[in-house]
Amino acid sequence: MNTKGHASFKKIINTVLNDISGPDIQYVDIRITRHSWESHAADTSGSRSTDSGSGSGFGVRVLRRGAWGYAASMVIDADEAIRAGRLAADLALASSRLMSRPVRLAPVQPLDTTWIAPVVEDPFALATEFKLDFLVNSLGIASQVRGIGGVSGSMEFRRLEQWFASSEGSRIRQEIIIPAFAMTIRAGDGRGAQTRSWPSSHGGYTCTGGFEKIRSMVRREAVEQAAGEAVMLTTAPPCPEGRFPVVLAPDQMSLQIHESIGHPLELDRVFGVEANFSGTSFAQPEGMGQLQFGSPLINVVTDPTESGVLGAYGYDDDGVPARPVTLIRDGILRGYLSGRETAGRLGVPSSANNRAADWRHYPINRMSNTRLEPGNATWDDLLAGAEGGLIMATNRSWSIDDRRESFRFECEAAWEIKSGKRGKIYRNPAYTGRTLDFWRSCDAVGHAALYENWGTPNCGKGEPSQSIHTSQGSAPARFQNVSVSASGQRKGHPHGG
């Protein structure tokens, strides 16, 4: 890396902010980011690998004549920063030639501060062999279960550092470490093969913190249970089809919240900015305070201040301090995920959700940590109201329309609910629904002791596409009259025309 640390960054930042000025320049900011990562992978055939890398770069964002320009480079020095800053100003001028309304930024109090996510045990300070052994030993727990054909797993650690400075006076440094642990347990073979992802799918367990988070998460009995489920799935019957009460486990609730509450409440999407790619939203601002998004049990906040979760940060990439913001209260739409530009357009304070994936990208409205507030139900309560229904856990696949009005999710496993207890296991469960009908059908949310938070490490949005990390928290919740099917079956639908 050709960067020399904080002192040189301060010099670059001041150089750029002093260089880009003029009567038609309304705002300038610069973000310098650097990241380092290491990944470890292993499987029970004896394969072990380790990889690592690092990268850095910066971007300058200029608001000129009411329009944005952004220029980024991975060469971090003063000359390149001046070049990029001037280019960003030229690009903003070009943007202003085709403008519908000048950008109006919601106000923010400038801050000179540092925010570092708490870490007890720095994973980068631990020996590679120790980490690989930890991974291999974890896989070994699963592989010892009778009937398991193979287990593969990975651990990844990322350190992200960012310096943000704006022409309004903000100087903010942030640092987080993201640990991740995932395991895939396979049973059976060929078309009958089944897998259980542990502790969950799509990246497994991801959060902010140190190795202590991984150490405390890996528990022998939980791994053995997941392995046992993989074996049972190979002979399990397909999921029954029809309309049932369904209890979703927290890891599936996470993606359900992400896709059908988080995305439709991104304010840039609501305004149509994403119409060409990610899509738009049914949740238009006229519905604020009116739209019955869910049942009265649905209370949702965006909250990057929740400690240790993947979506945690101190400030967004507009320099706005993180805080909990209500999105849905008692089932009614109350707010959006916004940045200074979109909040300014709506005439509300920013929710601190303007984030860029890295230095290559300018910030757009993104989820941080979206939380369904816990309710009062115990597990027994949840099951008691779902007799004849199903529990579903761990997402396998999903698809959702571009206005976020309907969805289809598939899970790794389902269990029947019989006599108020979890019964036999089913394979290949899937459910579909319409967003508002689904959330309105929620008639129980688990209590705080059942709450879990799961990370989504690679949420895609934007053009050029940006992949960013978010998290969602929830207790298990119960929904009535859900359309359930067994995935992967080609059915005998009649000809429609």
Partner 1 sequence: MADNTGTQLFKMLDPGFEAEFIQEDTRTLATRVSENAIQANTSVRERDAWVRVFRDGRIGTASGLVMSDEDIGGLVMEALSDWKKSTEPSAVVPAPDANLPFNPVADPDIRDEDPLRRAERLGHAVSIIRKHGLEFTGAYTTKVIQRRLLSTAGADFTAEHSLADVSCTIQGAGSGWARVFSTRADDVRLPDLVRTAGGKALNSARPEPLKPGRYTVILEPAAVGSMLLFLGFLSFGGRSYNRGTSFLSGKIGEKVMADHMTIEDDAADTRMDGWPFDYEGTPVRKVMLVEKGIARGVVHDMTTAENAKAASTGHALAPGNNFGPYPRCVHMHGGKTPLPDVFASVENGILVTRLWYINYVNPMRSMITGTTRDGTFEIRNGKPVRAVSEMRFVESILEAFNRSVLLSRETRYIRQFGSTLRVPWMVIPDFEFTEVI
Where in 140-159 is the site for partner 1 (CB under 8 A)? none
- Which CB sits closer to partner 1, 128 or 137? 128
Quick one: tokens of 347? 């005439």
* Site residues (CB under 8 A) for partner 1, limited to 156-215: 191
| Least separation in angstroms between CB 409 and partner 1 | 10
CB of 92 to partner 1, least distance (A): 7
Is residue 495 a contact residue for partner 1 (CB under 8 A)? yes
Cα–Cα distance between 263 and 251 in angstroms, integer?
Answer: 17
Residues 402-421 touching partner 1, rule: CB under 8 A, are 402, 405-406, 408, 410
Q: Which residues from 472-491 bind partner 1, rule CB under 8 A?
A: 487-488, 490-491
CB 444 within 8 A of CB 297: yes
User: What element of type H or E holds 252?
Assistant: helix 250-257
| Secondary structure (DSSP) of 186-216 | EES-GGG-EEEEES-STTSEE-SS-HHHHHH
Give me the 113-142 binding string for partner 1, x by CB under 8 A, dash otherwise.
Answer: ---------------x--------------
Selected from 25, 93, 346, 384, the binder of partner 1 by CB under 8 A is 93
CB of 354 to partner 1, least distance (A): 13
| CB of 69 vs partner 1, minimal distance in Å | 5
- Report how far apart, in Å, the C-alpha atoms of 396 and of each of 101, 393, 460, 475 are: 43, 9, 17, 19
Contact status, residue 267 vs residue 336, Cβ threshold 8 Å:
yes
- The yes or no reply on residue 100 touching partner 1 (CB under 8 A) is yes
Residue of 136, 257, 273, 291 that binds partner 1 (CB under 8 A): 273
Tokens representing 485?
């099917």
CA separation for the pair 307, 13 (Å, rounded): 30
Q: Is 292 near partner 1 (CB under 8 A)?
A: no
Judged by CB under 8 A, the residue of 10, 360, 422, 447 near partner 1 is 360
The CB-of-427 to partner 1 minimum distance in angstroms stands at: 12
Q: Is 243 in the site for partner 1 (CB under 8 A)?
A: no
Q: Are 432 and 408 in contact (CB under 8 A)?
A: yes
Does residue 463 belong to the site contacting partner 1 (CB under 8 A)?
Answer: yes
**Segment contacting partner 1 (CB under 8 A): 67-75, 135-143, 316-324, 446-454?**
67-75
DSSP-based three-state secondary structure for 459: strand
Should residue 242 be labelled a site residue for partner 1 when binding is judged by CB under 8 A? Answer: no
- Could you tell me how far CA 112 lies from the centroid of its own chain? 28
Encoded tokens for 188: 């059976």
Total site size for partner 1, rule CB under 8 A: 74
Q: Which of 5, 7, 23, 97 binds partner 1 (CB under 8 A)?
A: 97
List strand residue ranges (DSSP E) for 224-359, in order.
Answer: 242-248, 300-302, 325-329, 332-333, 354-355
By CB under 8 A, the residues from 21 to 60 that bind partner 1 are 47-57, 59
Pick from 32, 29, 37: nearest CA to 8: 32
Partnered with residue 244 across adjacent β-strands are 482
Name the phi and psi angles at 249, rounded to 5: -70, 160
Q: How far apart are CA 92 and CA 69, in angstroms?
A: 4
Determine, following the binding rule CB under 8 A, whether residue 71 of this chain makes contact with partner 1: yes
